[in-house]
């Protein structure tokens, strides 16, 4: 075991808490959203937004997917980044000008509807929980990989730590902390990748594919389930669960039955020859979900309030786009190099661990490899801490305001600290339970499902609310229920339903391509049918959303 | 309907309320900003969204190699991100110009 890992993880936690305490001296209330809003520059703010956004799914999951499936899953990082462009084009400045702090707030500001506000609250909680699941999954995986503990123990322990932290106010949504987390995550991937690429050069630039992956170093693999091994020459071998296989450098890595992965040209080239049209459908569905889902994530919107005005909200979003784009250049390299240095992950299916294992696998067990291994573990912890704390704070805040206090105006934020703690516990328990049941799914795929629900519910609500005067509360509620509800059902079927294949699996596994158009259509038709319910003040609202602040003063 | 509207919280009105002229100006601004956003979105839809279809229709493109790297890897793994930033940058500039035009017209109206 790597002796540097545990001290590094402790240091990251302490530094996170330390910077939080330091930042607290400047922020007198429980969050700096209100206090620091006029003093945070777009660069700091953007780093903070990126720090909160780049989750375990980005840090671990993307590289794992690339290792397993190849070029087709590059749409995940592209979509995660492009989501901010959609946010910039359609939402950023008007949302900041609306003064809305959360999505339920936006419903109140734009449509004055308590019913719609409650519905939005339900969806914020659902999306938040769905997004927390893969974070806990990533945490369980990280601890299991670096310390050897069972997966469930890791997920529960880290879940409890974050819950306690948020409930006791240990990690507040301080801009400094989140900005620090961004730079830590970037460094934790960027520094090792330089060493990895140098090692790859020194090894004579081994080809990624084809031929089949071979072991670069002597490796031991423990088979978890009974399986059939297929070697590149076509010979097969039956192995029982618990069999220990040892490989010498240069041995080809066999394909293991039951582990879903692509090989050879299927991995290298776009398109899935086995799936045909379904593959193309899944790709476009994923593009739609990630491009349009970002704007509906609860912890993303809340940060826009820290911009002083609409124009700076736009600039901040642009910097975020650049920062996350810079980050997403890196996980792909880990996935590709993992093909060379950690082919055993393709046999066990634990591809999400590639980022954690690659430095030691490629550079050997020397000091350099171990230090870099500790660095990526620190980055993974940062990814997990920042996103799950931000999410939990947002979800608990909405639960606290709208459910425990039944406050449908969103104006008063009263209530005791004890109620906020109860809300935090409530918001954390469901995802913790779910995270134990989904260990078979890839981290990034679960995140993709959360994006699909957000894209099918809040994206139409925000886009139509901001740009179309004709939107009514009844139409909006119908659209959110139809699109978001359908996407939620599809997610539940995928996670908990019977195994499907063919078109039903494609339609439910990547639902956005039909649920997003459904939501938009229902919302528009519903609004046209209830035209009498268009708010009387829609003209004034539109002026507030779109007119630059400087012109408003002159009016 | 009127009673309902009366019960609602009054929105934050800008100083001076809205004249028919400013209402028309706001409509124009919203339309201009939406058209700009849609144009930019179209650039991305064609530039990025067209790729999966392109790789299916013309498999040779998907297999082409540029400096030793297969083209789809280069496009999706690296080039897509600066492309998105450039589109975003262009949008921010043009959207701010729309707003400056609006502010200038508003100032002229007020001085009249």
Alpha-carbon span A169 to A221, nearest angstrom = 43
Predicted local distance difference test score (pLDDT) of residue A74: 92
Whether the Cβ atoms of residue A64 and residue A444 lie closer than 8 Å to each other? yes
Give residue A238's domain range: 219-252
CB-CB neighbours of A190 under 10 Å = 17
User: Once rounded to an integer, what is the mean pLDDT over residues A6-27?
Assistant: 68
User: Once rounded to an integer, what is the mean pLDDT over residues A270-294?
Assistant: 83
Same domain, A89 and A168: yes
Task: Look at B29 and B10; give whichever has higher pLDDT.
Answer: B29
Q: How confident is the model at residue A32 (pLDDT cuts 50, 70, 90)?
A: very low
- Cα dihedral A260, A262, A263, A267, rounded to 10, equals -160
Least confident of A200-209, A237-246, B61-70, B72-81: A237-246
In a domain, A212, yes or no: no
Same domain, A187 and A225: no
Q: Name every residue whose Cβ is closer than 8 Å to that of residue A545 and which is 6 or more positions away in sequence.
A: A94, A97, A98, A466
Helices (H), A168-253: 175-202
User: Once rounded to an integer, what is the mean pLDDT over residues A268-297?
Assistant: 83
pLDDT at A85 over 80: yes
Same domain, A223 and A162: no
Whether the Cβ atoms of residue A301 and residue A468 lie closer than 8 Å to each other? no
Helices (H), A417-537: 417-437, 443-467, 473-479, 485-496, 502-509, 512-529
CA A367 to chain centre: 32
Does a cis peptide bond (omega within 30 degrees of 0) precede residue A211?
A: yes
Q: Name every residue whose Cβ is closer than 8 Å to that of residue A400 and which is 6 or more positions away in sequence.
A: A415, A419, A420, A423
Predicted local distance difference test score (pLDDT) of residue A88: 94
Mutate which: B4, B7, B14, vs A, most A CBs within 10 A: B14
Summarize pLDDT for A433-466 with one digit per residue, the tens. Answer: 888 876 666 677 778 888 999 999 999 999 999 9
Q: Which of A135, A180, A127 is nearest to A162 (CA)?
A: A135
Same domain, A418 and A380: yes
Number of domains in chain A: 2
B16, A86: Cβ pair inside 8 Å? no
Q: How confident is the model at residue B7 (pLDDT cuts 50, 70, 90)?
A: very low
Same domain, A317 and A429: yes
B84, A325: Cβ pair inside 8 Å? yes
In a domain, A206, yes or no: no
A543, B49: Cβ pair inside 8 Å? no
Q: State phi, psi for A413 to the nearest 5 degrees.
A: -120, 65
Q: Which residue of B has its CA nearest to A99?
A: B12
A88, B26: Cβ pair inside 8 Å? no
Q: How confident is the model at residue A208 (pLDDT cuts 50, 70, 90)?
A: confident
In a domain, A263, yes or no: no
Mutate which: B52, B79, B90, vs A, most A CBs within 10 A: B52
Max intra-chain CA distance, chain B: 70
Whether the Cβ atoms of residue A177 and residue A20 lie closer than 8 Å to each other? yes
Least confident of A201-215, A360-374, A509-523, B95-109: A201-215
Same domain, A56 and A184: yes
In a domain, A334, yes or no: no
A311, B73: Cβ pair inside 8 Å? no
Positive or negative CA dihedral for A169, A174, A177, A183?
Answer: positive
Q: How confident is the model at residue A111 (pLDDT cuts 50, 70, 90)?
A: very high
Q: What's the 3-state SS for A317-359?
A: HHHHHHHHHHHHHHHHHHHHHHHHHCCHHHHHCCHHHHHHHHH
State chain B's mean pLDDT as an integer. 81
pLDDT at A24 over 60: no
CA distance A507 to chain B (A): 18
Predicted local distance difference test score (pLDDT) of residue A439: 60
Task: Look at A178 and A292; give whichever has higher pLDDT.
Answer: A292
State chain A's mean pLDDT as an integer. 81
B41, A89: Cβ pair inside 8 Å? yes
**Residue A282 token pair:** 């899944």
Distances from the Cα of B69 to the Cαs of A333, A484, A544, B48, in angstroms? 12, 40, 49, 19
Same domain, A132 and A29: yes
Q: State phi, psi for A504 to the nearest 5 degrees.
A: -55, -40
Same domain, A480 and A368: yes
Predicted local distance difference test score (pLDDT) of residue A461: 95
Q: What's the 3-state SS for A385-418?
A: HHHHHHHHHHHHHHHHHHHHCCCCCCCCCCCCHH
Same domain, A308 and A167: yes
Same domain, A421 and A483: yes
A170 burial type by CB count under 10 A (0-12 exposed, 13-18 middle, 19+ buried)? middle
A112, B9: Cβ pair inside 8 Å? yes
* Report for A49-53, A148-152, A414-418, A468-472: range of highest mean pLDDT: A468-472
Summarize pLDDT for A120-151 with one digit per residue, the tens. Answer: 999 998 888 888 888 888 888 788 877 777 88
CA A93 to chain centre: 23
Same domain, A244 and A364: no
Q: Would you say the ipTM is above 0.90?
A: no
Predicted local distance difference test score (pLDDT) of residue B44: 94
Q: How confident is the model at residue A424 (pLDDT cuts 50, 70, 90)?
A: confident
Predicted local distance difference test score (pLDDT) of residue A42: 79
User: How many Cα atoms are found within 13 Å in the side-chain-facing hemisphere of A86?
Assistant: 23
Alpha-carbon span A288 to A285, nearest angstrom = 5
pLDDT at A155 over 70: yes
CB-CB neighbours of B20 under 10 Å = 7
Q: State phi, psi for B14 to the nearest 5 degrees.
A: -70, 155
Alpha-carbon span A246 to A447, nearest angstrom = 35
Q: Which of A280, A537, A554 lies at the smallest CB-CB distance from B107?
A: A554
**Residue A394 token pair:** 């947002």
Summarize pLDDT for A311-332 with one digit per residue, the tens. Answer: 888 999 999 999 999 999 999 9
Same domain, A313 and A462: yes
pLDDT at B5 over 70: no
Q: For residue A237, what are the β-bridge partners?
A: A229
Predicted local distance difference test score (pLDDT) of residue A326: 96
Local structure of residue A214 (DSSP, 8 states): B
Residue with tokens 């409890």: A160
**Residue A446 token pair:** 């679960």
User: How many Cα atoms are found within 13 Å in the side-chain-facing hemisphere of A389?
Assistant: 32
Mutate which: A71, A315, A552, vs B, most B CBs within 10 A: A71
Q: State phi, psi for A247 to the nearest 5 degrees.
A: -125, 145
In a domain, A455, yes or no: yes
Summarize pLDDT for B22-77 with one digit per residue, the tens. Answer: 788 889 999 999 999 999 999 999 999 999 888 888 888 888 888 778 888 999 99
In a domain, A168, yes or no: yes
In a domain, A308, yes or no: yes
User: Once rounded to an integer, what is the mean pLDDT over residues A217-246?
Assistant: 72
Q: Which of B70, B88, B99 lies at the smallest CB-CB distance from A318?
A: B88
Look up the CATH number of the domain holding residue A24. 1.20.1730.10
Alpha-carbon span A103 to A356, nearest angstrom = 36
What is the DSSP track for A133-178?
A: HHHHHHHHHHHHHHH---HHHHHHHHHHHHHHHHHTTSS---HHHH
Whether the Cβ atoms of residue A516 and residue A483 lie closer than 8 Å to each other? yes
Domain-ending residue, one of A233, A252, A271: A252
Whether the Cβ atoms of residue A173 and residue A31 lie closer than 8 Å to each other? yes
Alpha-carbon span A311 to A318, nearest angstrom = 11
Where are the domains positioned within chain B?
A: 55-112
In a domain, A270, yes or no: no
């Amino acid at each position: 075991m790597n002796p540097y890992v545990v001290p590094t993880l402790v240091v990251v936690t302490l530094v996170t808490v330390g910077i939080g305490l330091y930042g607290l001296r400047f922020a007198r209330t429980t969050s700096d959203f209100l206090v620091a809003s006029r003093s945070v520059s777009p660069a700091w703010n953007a780093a903070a937004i990126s720090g909160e956004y780049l989750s375990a799914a980005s840090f671990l999951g993307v590289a794992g997917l690339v290792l397993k499936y190849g070029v087709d899953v590059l749409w995940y990082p592209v979509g995660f980044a492009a989501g901010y462009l959609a946010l910039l084009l359609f939402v950023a400045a008007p949302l900041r000008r609306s003064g809305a702090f959360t999505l339920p707030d936006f419903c109140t500001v734009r449509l004055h509807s308590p019913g719609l506000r409650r519905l939005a609250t339900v969806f914020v909680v659902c999306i938040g929980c769905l997004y927390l699941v893969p974070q806990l999954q990533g945490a369980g995986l990280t601890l299991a990989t670096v310390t050897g503990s069972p997966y469930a123990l890791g997920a529960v322990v880290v879940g409890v730590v974050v819950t306690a932290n948020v409930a006791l106010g240990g990690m507040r949504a301080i801009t400094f902390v989140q900005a620090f987390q961004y730079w830590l995550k970037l460094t934790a991937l960027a520094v090792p990748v330089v060493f990895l690429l140098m090692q790859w050069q020194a090894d004579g630039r081994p080809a990624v594919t084809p031929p089949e992956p071979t072991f670069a170093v002597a490796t031991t693999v423990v088979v978890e389930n009974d399986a059939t091994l297929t070697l590149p020459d076509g010979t097969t071998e039956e192995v029982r669960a618990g069999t220990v296989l040892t490989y010498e450098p240069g041995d080809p890595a066999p394909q293991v039955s039951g582990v879903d992965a692509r090989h050879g040209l299927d991995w290298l080239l776009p398109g899935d020859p086995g799936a045909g049209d379904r593959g193309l459908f899944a790709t476009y569905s994923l593009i739609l979900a990630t491009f349009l889902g970002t704007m509906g994530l609860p912890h993303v919107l809340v940060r826009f309030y820290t911009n002083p005005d609409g124009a700076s909200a736009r600039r901040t979003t642009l910097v975020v786009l650049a920062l996350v784009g810079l980050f997403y250049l890196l996980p792909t390299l880990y996935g590709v190099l993992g093909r060379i240095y950690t082919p055993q992950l393709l046999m066990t299916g634990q591809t999400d661990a590639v980022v954690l294992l690659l430095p030691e696998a490629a550079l050997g067990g020397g000091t350099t490899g171990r230090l870099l291994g500790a660095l990526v573990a620190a980055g993974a912890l940062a990814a997990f801490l920042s996103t799950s704390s931000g999410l939990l704070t947002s979800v608990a805040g909405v639960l606290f305001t709208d459910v425990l206090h039944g406050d449908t105006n969103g104006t008063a934020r009263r209530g005791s600290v004890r109620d906020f703690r109860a809300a935090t516990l409530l918001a954390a328990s469901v995802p913790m339970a779910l995270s134990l049941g989904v260990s078979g799914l890839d981290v990034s795929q679960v995140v993709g499902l959360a994006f699909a629900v957000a894209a099918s519910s809040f994206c139409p609500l925000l886009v139509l609310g901001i740009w179309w005067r004709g939107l009514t509360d009844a139409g909006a509620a119908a659209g959110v229920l139809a699109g978001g509800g359908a996407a939620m059902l599809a997610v539940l079927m995928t996670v908990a339903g019977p195994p499907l294949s063919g078109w039903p699996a494609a339609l439910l596994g990547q639902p956005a391509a039909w649920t997003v158009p459904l939501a938009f259509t229902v919302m528009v038709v519903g609004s046209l049918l209830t035209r009498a319910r268009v708010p009387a003040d829609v003209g004034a609202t539109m002026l507030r959303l779109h007119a630059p602040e400087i012109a408003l003063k002159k009016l | 309907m009127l009673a309902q509207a009366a019960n609602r919280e009054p929105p934050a009105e800008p100083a001076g309320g809205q004249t028919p002229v400013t209402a028309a100006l706001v409509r124009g601004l919203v339309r201009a900003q939406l058209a700009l956003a849609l144009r930019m979105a179209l650039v991305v839809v064609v530039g990025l969204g067209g790729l999966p279809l392109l790789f299916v229709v013309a498999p040779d493109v998907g297999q082409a190699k540029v400096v030793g790297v297969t083209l789809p890897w280069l496009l999706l793994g690296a080039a897509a991100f600066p492309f998105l930033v450039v589109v975003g940058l262009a949008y921010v500039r043009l959207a701010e110009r729309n707003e400056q035009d609006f502010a200038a017209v508003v100032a002229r109206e007020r001085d009249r």
